[in-house]
Structure 1
Amino acid sequence: METVADSPPRRRWRITSIEVLCGVLLIAILGQAWLQDVLDVPALRTGSTVFVAVCVQALPFLVLGVLISGAIAAFVPARVLRRVLPRNEGAAVGVAGLAGVALPGCECASVPVARRLMGQGVAPGVALTFLLAAPAVNPVVLVATAVAFPGQPGMVLARFLGSLGTAMVMGWLWVRFGKAEWIAERALRRLPDSEPGSRWRTFTETARADLVEAGGFLVLGALISAALGVLVPAEWFGALGDQIVLGVLVMAVLAVVLALCSEADAFVAASLTALPLLPKLVFLVVGPAVDVKLFALQAGTFGRSFALRFAPVTFVVAVACAVLAGAVVL
């Protein structure tokens, strides 16, 4: 006779994100008229307009960026970059920085690419230069910046110079002062290239993963941008404009905390209309170089000892390069 102990365990029904989403949509449909009356206030209308505008403007560049990133991961082996690098490590840093223009990728994708380069024998300083340059100076990001700041070509040039300077200075600093023992041993192990039969799968999986992750950060950034535009009085941003040093520091810290995708951050910065261009430029240069998301990725890939040294120095160098580029160009 079958006992209670022998009977198969019952599966407990759990509420997942799909059920929550369906429930929210159902409530919104049924209570549409009521929600319109409750939410029909000027502040919420302004916030929703800013949110939609940021998302709609940034989404095409985000999709293009993740498609290029997926194509590079699947069809451009890391050894291609290694073959064109000079033997002199200092000169190779400059080439790796400029390679970011031809081989774009988002911040998340550049970390495993840098690890692959190290695993194939590329000097760490050169790989780290590419890590910082690829998400910041590629054509997708520069075009997105030009669209976000129409009629201000100096902003595009200043972002390019500040970001490229950050990448190359950090590479040369590592060549001069960096130590191999700061990098976890697992990061130096060789990673195999994609097999010919799996390249399309690698492309689709990389692009899908980057789009989901970067899209989430885009939505978060748009929400914060809308909230800043509604909740923060315009006088506060005016005060930051009057105190340029404070504005630079606040926007630098905000870039680290928000951790936006480099294909979308220009639209968030442009929405803060009360701020002058220099703090916005610092926001755009610091964000792709160091943020909380990148710190976690670098700690997991290269080790916590590396991240604790690399991230703070990158922050200081990025702020300095942004301010210098802004002083020269803007």
Structure 2
Amino acid sequence: MSRLATIWAIFQGLLLEALPFLLIGVLIAGMARWIAPGGGWLQRLPSQPLLAPLTGAALGFALPACECGNVPVARRLLASGAPLGSALGFLFAAPVLNPIVLASTWAAFPHQPWLLAARPLAALLLALALSALLQQWPEGQLLEPALLEERRLSQPLAEVGLLERRTGLVGAATAATPPKPERPSLATVLDHSSREFLDLAGLLVLGSALAAVVQTLLPRTWLLAVGGGPTLSVLSLMLMAVVVSVCSSVDAFLALGFASQITPGALLAFLVLGPVVDLKLLGLFGVVLQPRAIALTAAGACVVVLLIGQWVNLWLL
């Protein structure tokens, strides 16, 4: 019974921590759909391999949502026709680069200036690497099917033909750009946002439950026991970041409790990997990416973070 009580307590904590940010993300996506129907300005974002993810990452400063809240925003970016690199840069970098997370990191570690610079820089490098990796695949194999259909509807006919859109009639209008979309009513936006929030909340519940069960069965003390080794410490804290699944807005304060027991590289790995890959995010990513793309994201993120953590340990130890 005590183990069940622990699972229930952890599940409640994860869910209550993440739901407000998920709601913020859905509201931001809904307001973007109402203010700029069709997302014409998003389609004009840079599409160059380097500049696109950098631009998307920069949007994280203006949209304060943790990793749960930025999923619906990234989905709206893609559905509105934003360049793939920009949306991926936002998806992977925004959870660390938003002002709330930067402020919480500074509040938790005011006497470690290297970490205040290393965390956003490492998050940016990770976003660039993942964006470059995923863009090696065609969008049809990368994006979730319903999102792909919605994205194709927002793109000019010069780029996506009628047959690819699966809408309209062959031989119908052949304009280079679709008609300018009308602004939906607030009632329509609220209805769409409510349904999106409920769908994502259901996935978040499943992810939080899985994280609570695994976290209970795999105590943190086991992972911290190898916190002094330069390589094992990074690997163990990466695993802890995935299992604990705490939001990026408060993970720095959690890390403060064991920072003195682990290497600097392991501390940075915990703060960088968690906002991109954790158990509660696996289901949420399913509304943006296909399963194989999610697996590739997780594997690529782990490799990049391990290398970053190892380099930091070589530099500071």
**What's the TM-score, normalizing by structure 2?**
0.67
Matched position secondary structure for 1:76: helix
- Structure that is richer in helix per residue: 1
Deviation per CA, 1:59-89, whole angstroms, max 9, x where unpaired? Answer: 9x97985675355234334837615512434
On the 8 A contact 2:242/2:273 being kept in 1, the answer is yes
Counterparts of 1:250 and 1:66, CA distance in 2: 28
After superposition, the Cα gap between the structure-2 partners of 1:63 and 1:147, relative to the gap in structure 1 and judged at 3 Å, is farther
* Match among 300, 305, 312 for residue 292 of structure 2: 305
Deviation per CA, 1:171-226, whole angstroms, max 9, x where unpaired? Answer: 12233x22223223212132798743466788899899999969x96xx88xx69x
Question: Which consecutive residues of structure 1, in runs of 5 or more, have no partner in the other structure?
Answer: 1-50
Match of 1:257 in 2: 243
After superposition, the Cα gap between the structure-2 partners of 1:276 and 1:202, relative to the gap in structure 1 and judged at 3 Å, is farther
Counterparts of 2:186 and 2:199, CA distance in 1: 20
Match of 1:159 in 2: 119
On the 8 A contact 2:241/2:273 being kept in 1, the answer is yes
On the 8 A contact 2:46/2:86 being kept in 1, the answer is no
Question: Which consecutive residues of structure 2, in runs of 5 or more, have no partner in the other structure?
Answer: 1-8, 155-182
Deviation per CA, 1:251-307, whole angstroms, max 9, x where unpaired? Answer: 001111222211121111111142233211101100011122222222354222322
Listed as ranges, the matches of 1:145-294 within 5 Å are: 145-175=105-135, 177-183=136-142, 184-190=144-150, 195-197=185-187, 232=221, 237=224, 240-273=226-259, 274-294=261-281
- The one-letter code matched in structure 2 to 1:275 is I
Counterparts of 2:47 and 2:314, CA distance in 1: 34
On the 8 A contact 2:45/2:83 being kept in 1, the answer is no
On the 8 A contact 1:281/1:326 being kept in 2, the answer is no
Counterparts of 1:327 and 1:124, CA distance in 2: 35
After superposition, the Cα gap between the structure-2 partners of 1:194 and 1:105, relative to the gap in structure 1 and judged at 3 Å, is farther
Match of 1:112 in 2: 72
* Match among 60, 63, 69 for residue 103 of structure 1: 63
Listed as ranges, the matches of 1:16-35 within 5 Å are: none
Larger radius of gyration: 1
Q: Would you say how many aligned residue pairs link Structure 1 and Structure 2?
A: 267
Counterparts of 1:318 and 1:194, CA distance in 2: 42
After superposition, the Cα gap between the structure-2 partners of 1:151 and 1:263, relative to the gap in structure 1 and judged at 3 Å, is same
Counterparts of 1:317 and 1:262, CA distance in 2: 19
Match of 1:124 in 2: 84
- The one-letter code matched in structure 2 to 1:256 is V
Output the aligned Cα RMSD.
4.1
Counterparts of 1:74 and 1:240, CA distance in 2: 45
Counterparts of 2:54 and 2:291, CA distance in 1: 27
After superposition, the Cα gap between the structure-2 partners of 1:62 and 1:75, relative to the gap in structure 1 and judged at 3 Å, is same
Counterparts of 2:58 and 2:138, CA distance in 1: 24
Matched position secondary structure for 1:82: helix
Percent of aligned pairs with the same amino acid? 30
